[in-house]
Amino acid sequence: MTKNHLEQEKQSKFRKIVRIAIEFCVELKDCDFLFKDLCWLFQDYGGDKDFETLFIRELEVFILAGKFSEWQFPADVVETYIGHYYISKDFMISSPELFQQVIVNLNLS
């Protein structure tokens, strides 16, 4: 196995863990745990921006599916999300429509 293959496998497993964790919070309707504990855990995971990005990308799937329509998103989470699009050129170039859809689907009240 190559180093690249191991890294891809690691990211795939991490993506599954993130998705399960988000699903768990959605089922329990536990906004505080998702956005105060879990979100920051993934942001701080080894100081690796790739893991934070994976968390945000997986969160997008749930936002677009309307799973958070009744939840109010904390301002710092929205700020982090928007920051990813401004910092990461490939996000803005490849998916400005996705970015717009996610923002429209957020409950920012």
Model-level pTM?
0.77
Is the confidence at residue 21, as pLDDT, over 70? yes
Cα atoms found within 13 Å of the Cα of residue 97, Cβ hemisphere only: 1
Within 8 A by CB and 6+ apart from 70, the residues are: 107
Planar angle of CA 67, 81, 22, nearest 5 degrees: 35
Q: What is the pLDDT of residues 70-93, one digit of tens each?
A: 888 888 878 877 877 777 655 555
- Residue 24: pLDDT band (50, 70, 90) is very high
CB 108 within 8 A of CB 78: yes
Q: What is the pLDDT of residues 4-16, one digit of tens each?
A: 888 788 878 888 9
Token pair belonging to 66: 């309307």
